[in-house]
Structures are given as structure tokens and as C-alpha cells.
Amino acid sequence: RPPNAFILYRRDNQKRVREANPGIANQDVSCKLGSAWAHETEAVKDYYRQLAAELKVANARVYVGLEFKPR
């Protein structure tokens, strides 16, 4: 399934967090970025929301008729 806005934000920012916090665990990276995401401007969030929407459309074209069914 395509990534959501936060996952895209995390992907783009995790290197910065890791460089600033050597040896940080993935869970802590997510916590820091979750907090950062909550304080981001709507413009930044909208950028990632739009990107996620575009990827969702592209994914739907590739996987026509596929439905995500969580366990």
C-alpha cells in the first residue's frame, strides 16, 4: 500500500534526526518526528498530504482492483 503523509515526512527527515542523535533507536526517531510533524506548518503538511495522494493514485493504477484488507 502507498505511504501516508507522515511516512513520507519521516523518510525525508530521519537522516537529519539520526545525524543529530547518533545511536538513536527507530522508535525514538519516530517519536521525535511525530512531535515535529505535530508542530509543522500546514504548508509542510499539505505538501506531504499531496505527495501521499499522488502516490495513492499511482498505486491504484498499478494495482487495479486490489483492496487493502488489514488482518
- Phi, psi for residue 22 in degrees, rounded to 5: -55, 135
- Rounded-to-integer distance, Cα 53 and Cα 64, Å: 16
Q: Does the predicted TM-score (pTM) go above 0.85? A: no
Please state the domain extents for the chain: 5-62
Residue 63's pLDDT is 80
51, 56, 58, 42: which is closest to 9 by C-alpha?
51
- What pLDDT is attached to residue 67? 73
> Could you read off the pLDDT of 30-68 as tens digits, one per residue?
999 999 999 999 999 999 999 999 999 998 888 887 776
* pLDDT computed for residue 39 by the predictor: 98
Q: Which of 5-9, 13-17, 62-66 has the lowest mean pLDDT?
A: 62-66
